[in-house]
Homo-oligomer: A and B are copies of this chain.
Amino acid sequence: MKIFICGFGTVGQGVAETILNKKEFFEERYGENVLVVGATDSTTYALDENGLDLKKLLATKKTTSNVGNDEYTDVVKVLASSDFDVLIEVTPTDIDTGGVGLGNIEYALGHGKDVITVNKGPLALKYKELMDLAKSNRCMFRFEGSVGGAMPIINLCNSDLAGQRIKSIRGIFNGTCNYILSKMDSGQPFEQALKEAKQQGYAEADPTYDIEGYDSACKVVILANSVFGRNVTFDDVDITGITSINADAVALAKSSGMVIRLIGEVSATKLEVAPRLIPKGHPLSLAGTLNTAEIITELAGPITVSGSGAGRLETASAIMSDLVAIMDRRLGE
């Protein structure tokens, strides 16, 4: 199985590291190893049809900040020059245009390659087009890690819970916001909680994407399309972020046994991200950086899942689960 990794930041490196560590697992389960035959970062590329030396690749990236010596002008041309089976697309999310990720995924699906991504831009903007492209080229297109990181949700709904109607999903889909709101539970003002989130590495220098609810909105769109069979994009989401939450609001909530959490909600008719009052002790009152989701099912009532929403190996683990599903299908278990 030949893999191409587009994007060699935290997640891309986590994937390479995991594939390296899982050599025995792959050989035992499939009788063959996974070869990474190509990798790109934002400016350079590395190719080897016999499989790149992943240890060396990771070391090169660490010491030179580049994945290879050769620069590219058009990443799709690099993809086109390589013979691979599965694209792992982990370039940064761009929710305005879809970014380079969109072109990479279109190229791969259009040329009969399976695709795994955690890049929310293409999924939140062009889900239907990409899924149609995958279908017409008989490709698998999977993106478990795009919602909730290591928290199992998309494949859980579509495979383990297949056969029963899912009525709605409500969840905490952004660890940064939840960290900030959890800090505010104990009386910290918003600005101070945000500052701490930055110091801890949970918030970006420009935290807009998280605290305005845009990241959660992308995830709600992905769930709407993939679990509820809707055809919506980022612009369809009713979004309120957490920037207007102040200490008074939190104190008022507390006085009636509630906390404030940024909740994404999706059903056949809803598509919303907003701060909500949640009773203490409810699964969605969770504190900290974990993600959690409450799946309301037709037959089984509520099923709750939680797990790490981000992180190098956590996201790599979701990508691994997609890769295993693809390899099971292609190579037989």
CB proximity to B under 8 Å, residues A270-312: 283, 297-308, 311
Separation of A314 and B302 alpha carbons in the complex (Å): 10
On chain B, the residues within 8 Å of A144 by CB distance are 160
A22 within 8 A of B: yes
Contact with B along A212-230 (1 / 0, CB 8 A): 0000000000000000000
Contact call A156/B164, Cβ cutoff below 8 A: no
B residues near A298, Cβ cutoff 8 Å: 317
Whole-angstrom CA separation of A311 from B161 in the bound complex: 16
* Minimum CB–CB distance for A241 against chain B, Å: 27
Residue in contact with A150 in the complex, picked from B301, B308, B317, B321, CB distance below 8 Å: B301
In order of increasing CB-CB distance, the 4 nearest A-B pairs are A150-B300, A299-B317, A303-B307, A300-B317
A318 to B308 CA separation, bound complex (whole angstroms): 25
Total interface residues on A, CB under 8 Å, equals 41
In the complex, the count of this chain's copies comes to 2
Residues of B within 8 A of A320 (CB): 163-164, 299
B301 touches A307 (CB 8 A): yes
Q: Does A137 contact B (CB under 8 A)?
A: no
Are B18's CB and A299's CB within 8 A? yes
Closest Cβ neighbor of A283 among chain B residues: B306
Q: Chain B: which residue is nearest A320 at the CB level?
A: B163
User: A44 at the A/B interface (Cβ < 8 Å)?
Assistant: no
Tell me whether B323 and A300 are in contact (CB under 8 A). no
Interface code A117-158, partner B: CB below 8 Å = 1, 0 otherwise? 000000000000000000000000000100001111001100
Bound-state CA distance A155–B157 (Å) is 12
**Are A151 and B303 also in contact (CB < 8 A) when A25-B163, A160-B156 are?**
yes
A-B contact pairs, 20 of them (CB 8 A): A150-B300, A152-B156, A152-B160, A155-B160, A156-B156, A156-B160, A159-B321, A159-B325, A162-B321, A162-B328, A163-B317, A164-B320, A164-B321, A299-B316, A300-B308, A300-B313, A301-B307, A302-B307, A303-B305, A303-B307
Name A318's closest neighbour in chain B (CB-CB).
B300
Interface residue A324 (Cβ < 8 Å from any Cβ of B): yes
CB distance from A64 to the nearest CB of B (A): 27
Least CB distance, A278 to chain B, in whole angstroms: 14
- A324 contacts B155, CB within 8 Å? no
With a CB–CB cut-off of 8 A, which chain B residues contact A152?
A: 156, 160-161, 303
Q: Most chain-B Cβ atoms within 10 A of its Cβ — which of A316, A323, A324? A: A324
Min CB–CB distance A232 → chain B (angstroms): 22
Q: How far is the CB of A299 from chain B (nearest CB, A)?
A: 4
Name the residue on B nearest A297 (C-beta).
B317
What B residues does A301 contact at CB under 8 A?
Answer: 150, 307-308, 311, 314
